[in-house]
Amino acid sequence: MSISAPRGLASSGQKPITEILHPLSAAEEPLSPGPDVTVSGGRDKEVGLTNGTPVETPSPASASVLFNRLQLDDDLDSDGRDPYADTETHDLFVTVDDPKKHVSTMETYITYRVSTKTTRIEFDLPEYSVRRRYQDFDWLRTKLEDSQPTHLIPPLPEKFVMKGVVDRFSEEFVETRMKALDKFLKRVADHPVLSFNPHLNAFLSAKDLNKRQGLALLSKVGESVKNVAGGYKLRVRPPEFCAMGEYLDTFNQKLGTIDRIAQRILKEQSEYLTELREYGTVYASWAGSEEELQRPLEGVAGCVTTCCGALEDMSENMGQDFLPVLREYILYIESMKNVLRKRDQSQAEYEGRLEAAVLRKQEDRTPIPAEVEKCQDKMECFNADLKADWERWQSNKRQDFKQLLTGMADKNVTHYEKCQAAWESLITLLQDKQTEDKTSCKSLWEIRQ
C-alpha cells in the first residue's frame, strides 16, 4: 500500500471512533455545519518568519466533539526529531551527470547519465547506469505524487524557462539543470518511503523506461485521493497545519522578494561588467601613446582586468548556485501547499462521513460504516506523514541555506580581496615609479652641475 499505516495513534490518547459515535442525548443538538475554512493569508499583520516550527495554539473554547476528535497527536514529534530517523539505512546512492546532446530529424534533446549503487534486495544488481532525459524525471515525479499522495515530493526545475537563461542547450543551462536533477533524485533516494517506490526502481534500473506501465494498485490509491472530498468542505484546519500554511506563505513572500532583487543585481552586475571591461581597455590603449605614463596606465588597466575577473566569478556563483536554490525552495513551497490541500481534503471527507454516520446512528441506530474508519485512517496517515516530511524539509532547508549563505559570504570576501590586492599593488607600483623619477631627476641635476 502506498498510504502508510497510522503512526503514534496508540500513544496519542485519542478515543477510538466507536467510542465517540455514541447516540446523542435528547438535550444535544445535531452537529451543524461550521464556516468554510481558508488558509490564513489576508491578515493585517504580517506573519513573522520564525524557524518554521509549527506553533501550538489552544483550541477554540467552542470546539465541538468532532473537532476535538480531529486534533493531532502532539507527542508524535515533540522531541524535535525526525520520526523516520530510525528507519533510514542510506543504502541507495544515485548520481546524475554526463549530459549529452541528441539531435534527430524530429527533435533535439539532452540526456543525463543516472548512476545507481545499492545493496537493496529489491534491485537485481548492485550497480546500474542508464540515460534519462528531463521528461523521464517528470514522469517519475508524477508517478510518485500519484502513488504517494501523503508525502512531500521534491520539486523538479522549471521545464521550459529558467530566469536569466535563454538557450536551453547552452552549457550554463544544461549544467544548472543537471545539478537540479541530481538534487531531486538524491532527495528521493534519501527518503525512507519514496526510495522504496516501484516507480523509482524502474526509473533507476530499466534500460528502456516503459512509461505506460500500470502498477495498478499504486495508481488506484493515487486516484482515490485525487477525487476525495468532492462534496465536502473543511470545517477548521487544525492549528498545527494552520501554522504550516502561514509559514509557507511568509517564506514564499521572502524568497520571492530576494529572488527579484537578486535577479536585478545580477543584471546590473552584467551591465557594470561590460562598462568595466571597456574602461580597462581605454587605459591599456592610452598607455601605448604615453611613454612617461606607460607603467602606471598599464597598472590601472591590469587592476581593472583583475576586478572584472573577480566580479565575473561572483556573478557566476549567484547565477549558478544562489538563484537555483531560491527557485528550488519556491517550488518546494508549492509542493508542500499541494500536500496540505490533499490533507485538508482528507479531513473534509472524514468530517462529512463522520457527521452523516452520527446523524444516521441518532435516527435509526444503524451500524457505523467501515468507510468512516477508513477515512479516519487515511487522515491520520496524512497527518503523520506530513508532519514527518515537514521536519525533514525544515532540517534540509536549514542545512541548504547555511551552506548557501556561507558560500555567498566566501565569494564576496574573495571578490573584494582580489580587488583590494590589485589596487594595493598599483599603489606600490606608483610609489616605486615616483621614487625612480626623483632619482632620475637628481642624477640629471648632478650631471648638469
DSSP letter for each residue of 6-53: P-S-TTS-PPPHHHH-PPPPTTSPPP--------S---SSPPP--SSP
Sorted by where each begins, the domain ranges of the chain are 90-207, 233-448
Measure the CA angle with vertex 227, ends 225 and 232; round to 5°.
100
The per-residue b/e assignment along 242-261, b for 16 or more CB within 10 angstroms, e otherwise, is bbbbbbbbbbbeebeeebee
Residue 30: which of 62, 60, 59, 65 has the closest Cα? 65
| Per-residue confidence (pLDDT) for residue 293, from 0 to 100 | 85
| Per-residue confidence (pLDDT) for residue 221, from 0 to 100 | 45
Integer Cα distance of 187 and 331 in angstroms: 14
Say which amino acid occupies 216.
A
pLDDT at residue 260 greater than cutoff 80:
yes
Mean pLDDT of 142-158: 93
The region of weakest confidence among 72-81, 208-217, 345-354 is 72-81
**90-207 CATH fold:** PX Domain (3.30.1520)
Burial-class residue 291 by CB neighbours within 10 Å (0-12, 13-18, 19+): exposed
Integer Cα distance of 86 and 73 in angstroms: 19
| Per-residue confidence (pLDDT) for residue 446, from 0 to 100 | 58
Residue 404 CB coordination number (10 Å): 16
Residues in the chain: 449
What mean pLDDT, rounded, does the chain reach? 77
| Same fold? 90-207, 233-448 | no
| Per-residue confidence (pLDDT) for residue 171, from 0 to 100 | 84
The region of weakest confidence among 82-96, 271-285, 372-386 is 82-96
Q: Are residues 155 and 335 in contact, defined by beta-carbon separation less than 8 angstroms?
A: yes
Report residue 381's pLDDT band, with 50, 70 and 90 as the boundaries: very high
Which is more confident, 254 or 1?
Answer: 254
pLDDT tens digits, one per residue of 153-182: 999 988 765 444 457 788 888 998 999 999
pLDDT at residue 362 greater than cutoff 60:
yes
Residue 28 Cα distances to 16, 46, 275, 366, angstroms: 21, 40, 79, 19
Burial-class residue 378 by CB neighbours within 10 Å (0-12, 13-18, 19+): buried
**233-448 CATH fold:** Substrate Binding Domain Of Dnak; Chain:A; Domain 2 (1.20.1270)
The region of weakest confidence among 17-26, 232-241, 356-365, 380-389 is 17-26
| Per-residue confidence (pLDDT) for residue 313, from 0 to 100 | 93
Integer Cα distance of 76 and 385 in angstroms: 11
Mean pLDDT of 91-119: 92
| Per-residue confidence (pLDDT) for residue 443, from 0 to 100 | 58
